[in-house]
Structure 1
Amino acid sequence: MSDPTTAREAIALVTDDFSELPFTEGPLTGDGPIGWPGYSAAHARAADRTGETESVVCGTGTVGGVTAVLVSFEFRFLGGSLGERTGARAAAAHALARERRLPVVVLPATGGSRMHEGMRALLQLQYLARESELTRAAGLPQIAVLRDPTTGGGWATLGAGSDVVLALPGAQVGFAGSRVRPADADPAAYTAEAQLAHGHLDAIVPPGALRETLGRWLSLLVRPAEGPVAPPYALGDPGAPPAASGREAVARARHPDRPRAAAYLDAHFTLREEISGDRCGGVDPGMRCGFGRLPDGRTVAYAAQCGTATRPAGFRTAARLVRLADRLGIPVLTLIDTPGAANDPAAERAGAGTAIADLFAAVASARTPLTSLLIGEGGSGGALALAAPGNTWATPDSYFSVIAPEAATAILKRAPEESATTADQLRLRPRDLVDLGVVRGVVKERPRA
């Protein structure tokens, strides 16, 4: 199927066994809550034209083997606008999700609040936000699939308020609809592609891949592992002896051929889906976050540094991941590998300190079990922010330090050639970290079959 244009086409794109919730409201009379002239007639015409009685269709369906509550908007019905009846239906859908412990999938195509109902329509945003928060508090996942268009209050509540936000290619996405933007606004800024580039949604999915992608997401988010997960096996050279000096430990961790996060994720999980962006305008390619399936079928959340200086957006994305996993009861694995937090002027303007503090807070307050593996460089607070207190491990080709040896040498006003001596004094080798109680142990390579 090509891009869906109706609510039911969108539903058919993801499930074949949709069971609609029954709603028995009669025809709209009296021109609505504020007596908008001709509103009842316009509502009736929309019903005749679309075959729907409101701008949203709600029910349940199976996606990827998981039963979910579906909320799909009908844009042809008064622009998919949110009125009191729309809000009541969406609220009933959320209540059913909580009653039956089901995830919620929203398929918005909406221009925002319904002007014909004035402030009574705008209030639906508060009501829907509350319903979403109640569902969130119940530990149930919410996934949005943005259709064209998704603007106004629908984007600012059911869309952007979801845990995972997917979008169809080319969808118009933004708080401002096309008729209320500044005259000189660049239309490209109001697209799903732009929202992805600036960290406001997680992925763009072609219609033909949506059912499979959504099914993977749902299967991951409803099947958590129990208890803390074991750290991955080491992937480096199994025959290499332990680092004899601090300088050697640093050199091993910085070696270009040393296994990175991608290799560990590929080896540890049989299936993965990733979230993207910090929801504050930023994306850091050096921080990969998402949910993965272990060989035994259980789900683990992961946040993995990729060996680059971590930017504020990366720390915020990791904090978002930890909090989502905590709410869903999914254990977290973090892979630590960074020379440190980015400290250029752009990073400072983007709130490096605040972002690191927020990740420290997310890790410290998490109730779900966390496991961390140091797989390369562990540079200062930018690395420690991702470390699980009391459950951090190290690979043989890693180091952890209060600061990089070169920076420590400069701070101590030593000559640059003394950085090797400084590295030894910092006691940053894996075996030193075990002796200091910083890590629990050094992981071994996977046993050979």
Structure 2
Amino acid sequence: MPWFIKTRSTRDAKKKRRDEIWIRCKSCNAHIFKEDFSNNQNVCPKCNWHGKLTAYERIGITLDSGSFAEINETITPSDPLSFVDAKGSYKEKVELAREKTSLNESIVTGTGKISGIDVVVGVMDFRFLGGSLGSATGEKILLAANYAYDHRLPYIVFSASGGARMHEGILSLMQMAKTCAGVARLDEKRLPYISVLTDPTTGGVSASYAMVGDLNLAEPGALVGFAGRRVIEQTIKQKLPENFQTSEFVQEHGFIDKVVHRKDMKTTLHKILSFYNR
């Protein structure tokens, strides 16, 4: 074989090295060093596109270092319908998600501090079955709300979800009412519930606890809505605006109180919590 002919293995190795060093921004298509992207909290330094964070990455940039203590970490999904589709069983999908993420569910809940202020947090992780709302997800959100109620603490939930987990049928859908009831009870003790919407927040999550905060915040450019764009256009037979279902569009129409850049989120939350603590 001539020395100048590249073999498939050589090309694959070079592509792998590129993939290990660079990422491409999904908004402006700019190539960014992975290290720079990570150091910038997964935000594109050129166009401010906000990439996804894992639950623990978000906890790391939001809570004071070393202050987080997880609660109810052993709660895991059940399979009440013994659900199976063309791609396999629900049980298998859950196991794959647990192996991929090292999480037991699509949300991590716990206590911590934001610039010295004690809080209860719930942080969704889109990697776990699209951040879907299952019965165990709802249970963890409710139990965290109960913990906030019992200990008189503010409650903050970061949403990142494609919606209800239909593998569980009506048991998934009932979590919408269950979680809303849990956070509504905080009002009895005048405890703040702050909802932070990240990309994406859709379906049954956007139709329940994600949109009923005392304050609803969102990251720039996040997809926020219920049904998908194509479904809506086909239903109403109209072309929707280009920025439809972005956090900026939703804020303009009164459903979100403030769009907050990721680098400013901790400071903004601290200012809000300081107001409630006066």
Specify which of 6, 26, 46 is matched with residue 97 of structure 2: 46
Specify which of 135, 139, 142 is matched with residue 190 of structure 2: 139
Structure 2: runs of 5 or more not aligned: 1-40, 43-49
Q: What is the letter of the counterpart of residue 193 of structure 2?
A: Q
Structure 1: runs of 5 or more not aligned: 224-449
Specify which of 49, 54, 57 is matched with residue 6 of structure 1: 54
Q: What is the letter of the counterpart of residue 104 of structure 1?
A: Y
State the partner residue of 2:123. Answer: 72
1:190 aligns to what SS in structure 2?
coil
State the partner residue of 1:21. Answer: 71
In 2, the alpha carbon distance for the partners of 1:180 and 1:45 equals 30
In 1, the alpha carbon distance for the partners of 2:209 and 2:277 equals 20
CA contact (8 A) 1:62 1:68 kept: yes
* 2:176 corresponds to 1:125: yes
In 2, the alpha carbon distance for the partners of 1:189 and 1:128 equals 27
Q: What is the letter of the counterpart of residue 18 of structure 1?
A: F
Kindly indicate whether structure 1 or structure 2 has the higher relative contact order, using CA contacts under 8 Å at least 6 residues apart. Answer: 2
State the partner residue of 1:114. Answer: 165
* 2:138 corresponds to 1:87: yes
State the partner residue of 2:80. Answer: 33
In 1, the alpha carbon distance for the partners of 2:232 and 2:270 equals 36
* 2:105 corresponds to 1:58: no
CA contact (8 A) 2:199 2:224 kept: yes
Q: What is the letter of the counterpart of residue 11 of structure 1?
A: I
2:120 aligns to what SS in structure 1?
strand
Specify which of 195, 198, 205 is matched with residue 260 of structure 2: 205
* 2:269 corresponds to 1:214: yes
Q: CA deviation at 1:179?
A: 6.6
CA contact (8 A) 1:174 1:190 kept: yes
In 2, the alpha carbon distance for the partners of 1:121 and 1:152 equals 12
In 2, the alpha carbon distance for the partners of 1:121 and 1:81 equals 9
Judged with a 3 Å threshold, the aligned counterparts in structure 2 of structure 1 residues 5 and 180 are, in CA distance, closer, same or farther, namely farther
1:220 aligns to what SS in structure 2?
helix
Q: CA deviation at 1:188?
A: 1.7
What do residues 259-286 of structure 1 show as CA deviations (whole Å, max 9, x unaligned)?
A: xxxxxxxxxxxxxxxxxxxxxxxxxxxx
Q: What is the letter of the counterpart of residue 56 of structure 1?
A: I
State the partner residue of 2:215. Answer: 164
Q: CA deviation at 1:187?
A: 5.1
1:82 aligns to what SS in structure 2?
coil
State the partner residue of 1:174. Answer: 225
Q: CA deviation at 1:52?
A: 0.6
CA contact (8 A) 1:65 1:219 kept: no
Judged with a 3 Å threshold, the aligned counterparts in structure 2 of structure 1 residues 42 and 104 are, in CA distance, closer, same or farther, namely same
Q: CA deviation at 1:33?
A: 1.2
1:108 aligns to what SS in structure 2?
strand
TM-score normalized by structure 1?
0.47
Judged with a 3 Å threshold, the aligned counterparts in structure 2 of structure 1 residues 187 and 90 are, in CA distance, closer, same or farther, namely farther
2:216 aligns to what SS in structure 1?
strand
CA contact (8 A) 2:145 2:186 kept: yes
What do residues 419-441 of structure 1 show as CA deviations (whole Å, max 9, x unaligned)?
A: xxxxxxxxxxxxxxxxxxxxxxx
RMSD: 1.6
In 2, the alpha carbon distance for the partners of 1:81 and 1:177 equals 15
Q: What is the letter of the counterpart of residue 101 of structure 1?
A: R
In 2, the alpha carbon distance for the partners of 1:96 and 1:82 equals 20
CA contact (8 A) 2:199 2:223 kept: yes
In 2, the alpha carbon distance for the partners of 1:68 and 1:133 equals 17
Judged with a 3 Å threshold, the aligned counterparts in structure 2 of structure 1 residues 178 and 117 are, in CA distance, closer, same or farther, namely farther
1:189 aligns to what SS in structure 2?
coil
* 2:219 corresponds to 1:189: no
CA contact (8 A) 1:125 1:157 kept: yes
Percent of pairs identical after alignment?
37
In 2, the alpha carbon distance for the partners of 1:152 and 1:128 equals 15
What do residues 2-55 of structure 1 show as CA deviations (whole Å, max 9, x unaligned)?
A: 3442111222221122111143246x56xx112211000000001111111100
In 1, the alpha carbon distance for the partners of 2:127 and 2:193 equals 25
Judged with a 3 Å threshold, the aligned counterparts in structure 2 of structure 1 residues 178 and 60 are, in CA distance, closer, same or farther, namely farther
Q: What is the letter of the counterpart of residue 71 of structure 2?
A: L
Q: What is the letter of the counterpart of residue 80 of structure 2?
A: P
In 1, the alpha carbon distance for the partners of 2:240 and 2:169 equals 27
State the partner residue of 1:409. Answer: none
The structure having more radius of gyration, on CA atoms, is 1
State the partner residue of 2:7. Answer: none
